[in-house]
Structure 1
Amino acid sequence: MERGKWNNVEDELWQHSRFGVIRASELETLGIGQTTTYRQCQPGGRWRRLLPGIVLLERSEPTTRQRVEAALMFARHGALVTGLQAARLYNLRAGPDPEFVHVLIPHKYCVRSSGFAVVERTVFFPPAFLRDGIPLAPPTRAVLDGVRRLRDLDPVRALLIEAVQSGLADPAQLRRELDTGTKRGTALPRRVLNEIDMGVRSVAEADALEIWHQAGLPTPHCNVVIVDSEGRYVGMPDTWCDEVGLAWEIDSNEFHYSKDAYAKTLARNSRYAAVGISLVQTLPSRLRVEPDAVIAELRAAYSVALARPRPPVHMKNSGATAQRA
């Protein structure tokens, strides 16, 4: 076919596609025979085969949107995008970049995974949440489908903590979803949810919680508001030992690059000192590079705090809120 005629034909085909992605069967109904489609998807052709029966009407590498559209077309049956790809589409940035497009279909249908399309049949088929025209599994289901396939603790922590901190998912909802679906790959998510229940809000704080337990110190409280004897706000330490009035802050260098942030840290430390709170400050990097040294520092600080009178402060009701300074 002549170049000019091809351009006219492709303009029409694009109008019947989803971002340039189209089924080979749809091409046939539009007058493009199987032989022509096959030839155009070969080296030197104008198109690209993405998945069995799914064609991209250009030779370039597919975009994320085109891969998603291709996976949905391939799976059919009202498929929903879930897992890490759905998490990205919900604007979550933690965790590894998706290597494939994970889609759900009702259990009564049978479509095998192929290429970058991972098709999962499920008895618990959820309602669709539309984002930019893409049908997604609900946020809680999508995030858990993503972390169930991860084997390392850090990315599981990062994604679940971001989902909770952003308000996209609720810990109670995540637990219910874990109890409802498959039990495969749920051990790490359950561990992280236990940490979140204790107040952990970052991967560094989760590392700190492990070190605290290794140090053998009393039960820690994470991110609780501390007030003085008159109810005035003192601080919200990353970790608090209420028995002796010991605060542990995980302070990163990046945070202190800002003059305003540095000033807030100095003000916080002054409030701690004014009421007699013992303070330990640790860089996040030391939690993994020098865990034994950090444990020794915590134990020493606890011993000093234990030897002096406990300061007249207490934890504010956990249901209350205060601005961290």
Structure 2
Amino acid sequence: MVVRAAALEAAGVPGRTISRRCASGGPWQRLLPGIVLLHSGEPTNEQRLQAALLHGRENALLTGLWALRGHGLERLPPPRDVHILVPADRRIATTGFVHVERTRHPPRAYVRGGLPVAPVPRAVLDAARRLTNEDEIQAMMAESVQRRFCTTGMLTDELDQAGRAGTALFRKALIPLADGARSVAEADAWHLLRRSGLPPGQWNVAIYDADGNYLATPDFWCDEVAFAWEIDSYRHHTSLEDHRATVARNARYAAAGIVVLQTLPSRLRTEPDVVLGELRAAFRAAQGRPRQGSLFKRTA
């Protein structure tokens, strides 16, 4: 159990007793100034989060990576500390494992696992401002959109309210997401496509034939020439079922007269110029191939 030392004293426990029990070898321990854990073992993550919120006092809430974990996001780096938001007029300092941020515009709190947490767009922005790895930021933002925890519009609105300080990597990661990319690999592909000089297309749109039969949802689709680009990783072919699904998808592409290029995500970085040549060649092949019937698309 995590409690304030002041609460223990209010319940009749003398301050000297608290100090003695929190001394080395005692049954209790101080997690933070004025915050006591009523056992001597290693505190759990939940106990650290509870202690951080007690340190922040009334209306404090979790943000950043721990808040995103509470919401259910998974593609996150390990948190270095516990990031909390407190009202701007509160004089509470960062200490121990707690990073305190004062804000003039506290967001609405959501309760996750019994703890108050910031909404996903704010937590994503707060986490991104303290990360330096572009892939980690891109993956975190992509998951928040792909799994419908928020939209790119919500991330953009949060960014507009935040100002520019510390947001450069967030802004960079948001551009391909706003265009429809939904992963780090797709963001790499988006940047490579920008270099290609090829006509723009759409990312992650569902393609149907003229009779309304579903064909596929390619990572990138150029309707002008019926060309699909799939960023297919080994991870998606580790089971027989996954392999069958990919073969069936490619058969539907072929039957509809769609030229498809499949690229491993790793090659987007290890040999981008080679992939760029393949992309241009596949597009030219699509241009020179008679189109079989009409296709239409719906946003995925």
With structure 1 as the length reference, what TM-score do the two structures score?
Answer: 0.85
Alignment-derived partner of residue 197 in structure 2: 216
- 1:275 is aligned with what amino acid? A
> Which is worse superposed, 93-102 or 193-202?
193-202
Alignment-derived partner of residue 293 in structure 1: 274
RMSD of aligned alpha carbons? 2.0
Structure 1: gaps spanning 5 or more residues: 1-19
1:58 maps to which of 32, 39, 42: 39
Alignment-derived partner of residue 88 in structure 2: 107
Alignment-derived partner of residue 71 in structure 2: 90
- 2:254 is aligned with what amino acid? A
Give the total of aligned pairs. 300
Q: CA deviation at 1:231?
A: 4.3
Alignment-derived partner of residue 302 in structure 1: 283
2:13 aligned with 1:42: no
The runs of 4+ residues in structure 1 deviating greater than 4 Å are: none
* Contact preservation (8 Å) 1:51, 1:70: yes
1:284 maps to which of 249, 265, 275: 265
Question: Structure 2: how far apart are the matches of 1:85 and 1:188?
Answer: 20
Q: CA deviation at 1:79?
A: 0.7
2:135 aligned with 1:154: yes
The Cα offsets for residues 77-107 of structure 1, whole Å up to 9 and x where unpaired, read as: 3211111111111111112121111111111
1:140 maps to which of 117, 121, 124: 121
2:251 aligned with 1:270: yes
**CA 212–311 in structure 1, closer or farther in 2 if over 3 Å, else same:** farther
2:182 aligned with 1:201: yes
* Contact preservation (8 Å) 1:224, 1:315: no
Alignment-derived partner of residue 169 in structure 1: 150
* Contact preservation (8 Å) 1:200, 1:206: yes
Q: Percent identity?
A: 48
Q: CA deviation at 1:228?
A: 3.3
Structure 2: gaps spanning 5 or more residues: none
* Contact preservation (8 Å) 1:124, 1:181: no
- 1:180 is aligned with what amino acid? Q
Q: Which has the larger radius of gyration?
A: 1
Alignment-derived partner of residue 70 in structure 1: 51
* Contact preservation (8 Å) 1:245, 1:311: no
- 2:41 is aligned with what amino acid? S
